[in-house]
Amino acid sequence: MNKNFTRLLIGSGESSPEIRYLTGISTPDDFICFETPSGVTALMSKLEISRARSCAKPGVAVLPESDFGTSRQEIITGAAKIFNTNCFEVPPEFPLGLAEKLNASGIKLHVSESDFCPGRRSKDKQELQAVIDSQRAGEAGFSRAVKVLEEATISPDGLLIWNGETLTSEILRAEIDCTILKHNALPTGTICAGAKQSSQPHNQGSGPLYAHTPIVMDIFPRSSVSGYWGDLTRTVVKGKAPEIVKRAYEAVKEAREYAKSKIALNVSCASIHLAAESILEKHRFFTGTSDGEPFGFFHGLGHGVGLEIHESPRLSPRSKDILTGGEIFTVEPGVYYPEWGGIRLEDLIYLAPDGEVHCLTRAPDFLEIF
Amino acid sequence: MNKNFTRLLIGSGESSPEIRYLTGISTPDDFICFETPSGVTALMSKLEISRARSCAKPGVAVLPESDFGTSRQEIITGAAKIFNTNCFEVPPEFPLGLAEKLNASGIKLHVSESDFCPGRRSKDKQELQAVIDSQRAGEAGFSRAVKVLEEATISPDGLLIWNGETLTSEILRAEIDCTILKHNALPTGTICAGAKQSSQPHNQGSGPLYAHTPIVMDIFPRSSVSGYWGDLTRTVVKGKAPEIVKRAYEAVKEAREYAKSKIALNVSCASIHLAAESILEKHRFFTGTSDGEPFGFFHGLGHGVGLEIHESPRLSPRSKDILTGGEIFTVEPGVYYPEWGGIRLEDLIYLAPDGEVHCLTRAPDFLEIF
């Protein structure tokens, strides 16, 4: 933090990780928050003030915004007088329209050049436990999916049948997601993509599921209580897997394990990505573009997980991030080919400040389900 | 749209309603999008390009962002050359940090003074159906909750017992939310707040539920397919309700119906709010503040619903919105008192362009469940 500035944020507790991190308050609508060296002040609407007071982090002052004005501009200029400043430090995401209005009222904004909440990257014990809780919710969802796939039968034309009807991505996703809900977490976009849909890493999956082709399940629940995420991917096949799918599965698993073995303090995130890539290439799973569509391993190896599902550090070839300890991040190599689909295997890692590497994922590794 | 400008947006399809409205693309991560009088262009990462092409609205050009550069700043300055302009119109939410970097590269930004996508307010047939589908998912969730409460028994100390265990807000919410998931929608913050928790309008509810006190259920699912929301609130009591709760329920219902009767083309949204308020006051449910905590009817009467759960028009005393037809919005009066809890009853309304008023909510109205 630049000590010369009072810091100003605006956002909803649900969508702004910074504002949630600083205040502990989760709201559907935007609110205004100030940080000075002496503490954090959140200005709330009448609708939210009681609830905000009951869930704010210790030491956060919660005041009614109506004491300062009605529009966002009025509230901020009103508060500026209280803080005895006409200059605030803001995060890069601060809205330009409001910034221009504030400028016109004589308020100067200085965009923070470094991370606005650098403390977010290194997780404390409570944050680690919050991520683990969400991860367990996701794992319970995965176990449920495996049970459904075990119970499913294969029709003569290769369709999966469960509970007397065709098993679809939608049905399998609802089974996973209901399990997650019962673990006090929200499933927000669970991927259950079968066959060729699995060759698009972010395709959620729709329609009937088939035997003998990959089903990618990427499960990322967010705790309804803490707001912290978990993240887990496994790829399975109902029945016997084709040779190419088996080979890809083994290569991706080896890439994941090799990448994990490279994790240590002071290591560059780019080098961990490249380690995974080298294993995939060794197994002749190449990356490129065909007719404008990418194939192979064309996403980053991983990303930090916390109050955002994708946050710092980034594990990608161009990342400049260096591991310093305390980070929680995914290691999720994958290969994708439009001809037969995709394989992705994702573990969640905690690099302790002492350098010890903890895999937070307990879901087992297997390809075929009979 | 100002015809002199190419328009520029950045956001994720999941969190930016404008970018989803213009492109039809839903992504977890931000992407860049341009609109010119001749069409919309979305620039996608390798990870998303195949999927984006398959879900983009007709006529939207989907190009790889890597053709233009690597950083957001490079991509935009690269695209500026293609569009032969150094000036873009942006929405007020455009991030200040990126705006400053673009300014430094000679790109000028002009914040849109009017609604960036004014077409979003008046829903077409497809959008209306999308909202109705989400509303039906929410109603199915409510029906499930009613069934659970019917099955529940009351312990000697007033606790609700269901399936052999104490019924909590968490369990009831999971039952509602699982039902919503099975209707292809995402429950994102379902409120099941009992007893005194129900006196905080946005308290999600936690812990055991009791007989003879209000349980506020505010259910707002978002379609996993279309991204459009539904919104529904009902308040019930298991067993006999106290007299004050009955009186409040009848007053809130009368306020809702009276407010609905005032909806018409060219009517001000503020006047509809005030109509509801007048009924609550007539029944001596007053609004104020006690020890810094608000009581009575202290939120707006309603809000538009579409690709955002809270969007234009706003039905509040200070709103300047006038109904022009095509809007979908909630009418949800409520009263809240820390001593006994709260009552909120919310219907979803479609005001057709011809002035006909359609209530989209089919959930029945009743207070007591035996």
* A127-165 pLDDT, tens digit each: 999 999 999 999 999 999 999 999 999 999 999 999 999
- In A104-209, DSSP assigns E strands to 108-111, 153-154, 160-162, 165-166, 185-187, 191-194
What pLDDT digit, counting tens, does each position of A262-305 carry?
999 999 999 999 999 999 999 999 999 998 889 999 999 999 99
Q: What CA–CA distances, in Å, run from A1 to A84, A215, B292, B321?
A: 18, 46, 32, 41
Instruction: Closest CB to B181: pick one of A51, A54, A174.
Output: A174
**C-beta atoms of B170 and A178 within 8 A:** no
Instruction: Closest CB to B46: pick one of A95, A177, A298.
Output: A298
Q: Strand, helix or coil at A114?
A: coil
CA distance B361 to chain A (A): 22
Question: Cα–Cα distance between B266 and A170 in angstroms, integer?
Answer: 43
Q: Please give the share of chain B, as a percent, with pLDDT higher than 70.
A: 99
**C-beta atoms of A181 and B173 within 8 A:** yes
Q: Strand, helix or coil at B74?
A: helix
User: Could you tell me if A214 and A246 are in contact, meaning their C-beta atoms sit under 8 angstroms apart?
Assistant: no
DSSP string, A69-110: -SSHHHHHHHHHHHTT-SEEEE-TTSBHHHHHHHHHTT-EEE
Low-confidence winner among A108-117, A170-179, B190-199 (lowest mean pLDDT): A108-117
Token reading at A30:
């935007």
User: Could you tell me if A64 and A46 are in contact, meaning their C-beta atoms sit under 8 angstroms apart?
Assistant: yes
B365, with CB counted inside 10 A (0-12, 13-18, 19+), is middle
Is A98 a residue whose pLDDT tops 90? Answer: yes
Instruction: Closest CB to A96: pick one of B70, B109, B189.
Output: B109
**C-beta atoms of B298 and A46 within 8 A:** yes
Token reading at B281:
């006051």
**C-beta atoms of A174 and B182 within 8 A:** yes
Rg (CA), chain B: 23
Question: Cα–Cα distance between B264 and B272 in angstroms, integer?
Answer: 10
What pLDDT digit, counting tens, does each position of A38-62 carry?
899 999 998 899 889 989 999 999 9
pLDDT at A278: 98
Q: Strand, helix or coil at B197?
A: helix
Question: Cα–Cα distance between B310 and B327 in angstroms, integer?
Answer: 13
**C-beta atoms of B51 and A188 within 8 A:** no
Question: Strands A288-290, A214-219: parallel, antiparallel or unpaired by DSSP?
Answer: unpaired
Mutation target to probe the B interface, by most B beta carbons within 10 A, among A169, A179, A200, A332 is A200
Is B109 a residue whose pLDDT tops 50? Answer: yes
| Residue closest to B242 by CA, chosen among B195, B310, B182, B307 | B195
Query: How does the average pLDDT of chain A come out, rounded?
Result: 95
| Residue closest to A219 by CA, chosen among A168, A148, A143 | A143
Token reading at A21:
């991190």
Tell me the count of A-B CB pairs closer than 8 A.
Answer: 134
**C-beta atoms of B174 and A181 within 8 A:** yes
Q: How confident is the model at residue A4 (pLDDT cuts 50, 70, 90)?
A: low
The whole-number average pLDDT for the span B170-187 is 94
What pLDDT digit, counting tens, does each position of B271-323 carry?
999 999 999 999 999 999 998 889 999 999 999 999 999 999 999 999 999 99
Mutation target to probe the B interface, by most B beta carbons within 10 A, among A47, A190, A198 is A47
Mutation target to probe the A interface, by most A beta carbons within 10 A, among B30, B173, B180, B200 is B200
A178, with CB counted inside 10 A (0-12, 13-18, 19+), is buried
Q: How confident is the model at residue B77 (pLDDT cuts 50, 70, 90)?
A: very high
Q: How confident is the model at residue A1 (pLDDT cuts 50, 70, 90)?
A: very low
Contacts of B273 (CB under 8 A, 6+ apart): B259, B300, B301, B302, B315, B316, B317, B319
pLDDT at B50: 87
Report which DSSP code applies to A333. -
Q: How confident is the model at residue B28 (pLDDT cuts 50, 70, 90)?
A: confident
Residue A325 main-chain phi, psi, to 5 deg: 105, 140
**C-beta atoms of B94 and A96 within 8 A:** yes
What pLDDT digit, counting tens, does each position of B42-61 carry?
999 988 998 899 899 999 99
